[in-house]
């Protein structure tokens, strides 16, 4: 997790440029949209030489069930679960009321990463991840849908890196500029601020949660529709945190 990947003044053009739909960029062309050039610059700073970027944008805070990203069309055609090399979330504009972190699951660890403008989250491409809305949705039996307002805006760009592009995703950009001439590029990596996770305390009360998984049984790799778990009650505060990254251990229900 890194803060300050882009200068604050550069986030607005990326917000406007994030409406390119679900696309793939071929980095070897060294030309594409403003957003594609910006994403390429992030990966260049990270030393990621993957030749293809898959990307899409979301501008609202919405509940997203746990899932690992795959080549969706390949999975539907053959059942194969082919994962990207790495997944990323770039936060561009975040309303004051948003408490919807991206939660990444690594074994029995949950890493909750709040959306902070200019922050980039990077994780192994086969790891499951989710976004709760509201923050405590996994611990409720019922929630009512909230209206979308500027205070609840969560504008993010999600992008994956691939050695071979996912099937049937548009590859040619709607317009193209040389990457070298792009007006928005990531700042140099030595100016980024790494954000290390804090550990929730393993003391006190525990809470029981129910995590939904996305997709059909085949899309879930045969995993059950829900994962029941227990965790320290500090997880509730971690999920409500609007800046700090937290690591929480999940346990099997007792």
Q: What is the DSSP string of 101-151?
A: -EEEEETTEEEEE---TT-EEEEETT-EEEE-SSTTGGG-S---PPPP-GG
State the average pLDDT over residues 95-112: 96
CA–CA separation, 205 and 47 (whole Å)? 43
Tens digits of per-residue pLDDT, 130-163? 999 999 999 998 887 888 899 999 999 999 999 9
Q: Please give the average per-residue pLDDT across 228-236, as a whole number.
A: 96
- Looking at every residue in the chain, the average pLDDT score rounds to 94
CA distances from 201 to 213, 232, 245, 246 (A): 26, 7, 14, 10
pLDDT at 199: 97
pLDDT of residue 203: 84
**pLDDT interval class at 20 (50, 70, 90):** low
d(CA 109, CA 200): 11
Higher confidence at residue 39 or residue 172?
A: 39
* Count of CB atoms situated within 10 Å of the CB of 49: 11
Residue 18 in this model has a pLDDT that exceeds 70: no
What percentage of the chain has pLDDT greater than the value 90?
A: 89
Longest dimension (CA), the chain: 58
pTM listed for this prediction: 0.95
- Name which of 8, 194, 166 is nearest 85 in CA terms: 166
Which pLDDT score, from 0 to 100, does residue 19 have? Answer: 63
| Helix, strand or coil, per DSSP, at residue 74 | helix
The C-alpha angle with vertex 244 and arms to 241 and 246, in degrees rounded to 5, equals 90
Q: How confident is the model at residue 220 (pLDDT cuts 50, 70, 90)?
A: very high
Please state which of the ranges 166-180, 200-214, 240-254 shows the lowest mean pLDDT: 166-180
pLDDT at 17 over 70: no
Distance, in Å, from the CA atom of 160 to the CA atom of 51, rounded to the nearest integer, reads 11
Is the backbone of residue 237 left (phi > 0), alpha (psi -120 to 50) or beta?
A: alpha
Q: What's the pLDDT at 173?
A: 77
With left for phi above 0 and alpha for psi between -120 and 50, is residue 170 left, alpha or beta? beta
**Is the model's pLDDT at 254 over the cut of 90?**
no
């Amino acid at each position: 997790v890194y803060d300050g990947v882009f200068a604050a003044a550069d986030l607005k053009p990326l917000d406007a440029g994030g409406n390119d739909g679900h696309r793939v960029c071929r980095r070897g062309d060294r030309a594409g949209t403003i957003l594609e050039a910006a994403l390429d610059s992030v990966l260049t700073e990270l030393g990621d030489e993957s030749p293809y970027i898959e990307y899409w944008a979301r501008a609202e805070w919405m509940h997203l069930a746990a899932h690992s990203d795959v080549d969706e069309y390949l999975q539907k055609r053959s059942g194969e679960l082919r994962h990207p090399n790495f997944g990323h979330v770039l936060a561009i504009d975040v309303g004051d009321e948003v408490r919807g972190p991206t939660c990444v699951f690594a074994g029995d660890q949950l890493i909750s990463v709040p959306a902070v403008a200019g922050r980039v989250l990077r994780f192994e491409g086969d790891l499951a991840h989710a976004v709760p809305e509201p923050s405590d949705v996994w611990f409720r039996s019922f929630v009512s849908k909230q209206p979308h307002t500027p205070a609840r805006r969560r504008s993010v760009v999600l992008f994956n890196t691939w050695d071979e592009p996912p099937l049937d995703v548009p590859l040619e950009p709607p317009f193209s500029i040389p990457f070298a001439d792009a007006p928005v590029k990531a700042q140099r990596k030595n100016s980024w601020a790494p954000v290390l996770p804090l550990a929730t305390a393993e003391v006190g009360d525990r809470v029981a949660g129910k995590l939904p998984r996305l997709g059909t049984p085949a899309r879930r790799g045969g995993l059950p529709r829900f994962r029941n778990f227990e965790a320290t009650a500090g997880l509730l505060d971690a999920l409500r945190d609007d800046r700090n990254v937290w690591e929480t251990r999940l346990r099997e229900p007792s």
